[in-house]
Amino acid sequence: MRRRRTYWHLEALARRPSDYEVGSTRLMFAPAPGSSVAVPMAGFYRRHGPTAQLTGCDWEAFRDPAQTTYARYVERQRDREVVLQTLCDGIDASGYDHGLTPTWRTRLGLTLSALRFPAHALQMLAAYLGRLAPASPIVIAFTFHAADELRRVQRYAYRLRQLVDLDPSLPQRGRDAWQDGREWQPLRRLVERLLVTHDWVECFVATCLVFEPLFDELTLQRWPQVANDHGDALLPLLSASLHEDARWHRELHLTLAELVRAGSPDNAALVAELVARWRPLTREALEPLAHHLIGPGWLELTRADDLRLAPLTGGHA
């Protein structure tokens, strides 16, 4: 009976007008990215999806440089989480937070609390890019990316909860800083703008090629170095694990960017144009926060970022 139902299902599919024929063979899959069923999302995809502006891309040729499969991803993140949880358990067992200065403890808690919000926005943006992605290897890559961003949020929240034992006001004060703090508002505006950037290629360039690498460098590399100066040796260790995720994201995004640029000269010109459009917006958004978190060093950070972006803009900083 199961076989009979299966044959009936295939026969019904073969009669659908959305199917097409090559010679005498009837093909039952979509000939191009998108939907073969007339649903409201199909119109959105045509207006904002990857094929709305990009041409000539061999989407199925995309390959993750790390060759990440579900099994490898789970194994990799399991090992990283074991290390992080051991560190966090040591904080609880040793009374580590009592040894931090009250000033740094408060600064750490407020920053971790506020950073949960842009990190969660990055999770939503990765999920959106994956939802509109034109090929399954790209969908899978952005799915893992979104999961990594949730890991970042969870680890910030976990560390914040440990600090709450000494100062219960930290979560709300961090939320208030995100919503009203002068140094956070430019970043908040940028994040909200990214969340309503519906065009796939613009969202990809703005989020993955321009904003996220600079944001990660600031919060996962430079800010933890400041923690060392305040006697906090564990924030750099926690951040180093999250930065391993960020490095992989960067490799994924550059690989995808090269695939897009190789599709046609117009694609490469569009990527360069979008980088030029979003780079000053990102710098304006992150500069006040950078001065707040790390003091001097912002110019050095932007110079390194210009070198990273140069290949995407034809070598022009």
Domain-located, residue 48: no
Other Cβ atoms closer than 10 A to 292: 16
Statement: residue 49 has pLDDT above 60:
yes
pLDDT at 46: 84
Statement: residue 22 has pLDDT above 80:
no
Q: How far apart are CA 310 and CA 293, in angstroms?
A: 26
Structure tokens at 300: 């050095």
Query: Using one digit for the tens of pLDDT, what is the confidence trace for 220-232?
Result: 999 999 999 999 9
Looking at residues 131-136, what average pLDDT do you find? 92
pLDDT at 11: 35
> Are 282 and 214 a contacting pair, CB within 8 Å?
yes
Residue 269: give its domain's CATH number.
1.10.620.20
Q: Which of 243, 257, 144 is nearest to 205 (CA)?
A: 257
Domain-located, residue 32: no
pLDDT at 315: 58
DSSP letter (8 states) at residue 152 = H
pLDDT at 29: 47
Domain-located, residue 19: no
Statement: residue 50 has pLDDT above 50:
yes
pLDDT at 34: 57
Q: Which positions ≥6 away from 303 have C-beta within 8 Å?
A: none
Structure tokens at 96: 């580590």
pLDDT at 296: 87
> Are 242 and 152 a contacting pair, CB within 8 Å?
yes
pLDDT at 16: 42
Domain-located, residue 144: yes
Looking at residues 53-65, what average pLDDT do you find? 92
Mean pLDDT over each residue of the chain, to the nearest integer: 88
Query: Using one digit for the tens of pLDDT, what is the confidence trace for 148-205?
Result: 999 999 999 999 999 999 999 999 999 999 999 999 999 999 999 999 999 999 999 9
The residue range of the domain holding 205 is 60-313
Statement: residue 35 has pLDDT above 70:
no
What is the separation of C-alpha 79 from the centre of its chain, rounded to a whole number of angstroms?
A: 21
pLDDT at 36: 65
Looking at residues 49-71, what average pLDDT do you find? 91
Structure tokens at 63: 């390959």
Is 58 strand, coil or helix?
A: coil
Is 25 strand, coil or helix?
A: strand
> Any idea which of 41-55, 113-127, 252-266, 288-302 has the lowest mean pLDDT?
41-55
Instruction: Give me the torsion for CA of 148, 153, 154, 160, rounded to 10°.
Output: 150
Domain-located, residue 15: no
Domain-located, residue 242: yes
Domain-located, residue 1: no
Q: How far apart are CA 59 and CA 62, in angstroms?
A: 6
Q: Which of 43, 215, 30, 249 is nearest to 129 (CA)?
A: 249
Looking at residues 246-261, what average pLDDT do you find? 95
Our count of domains for the chain comes to 1
Domain-located, residue 171: yes
| Residue of higher predicted confidence among 284 and 45 | 284
pLDDT at 44: 84
Percent above pLDDT 70 for the chain: 87
Percent above pLDDT 90 for the chain: 76
Structure tokens at 175: 């939320």
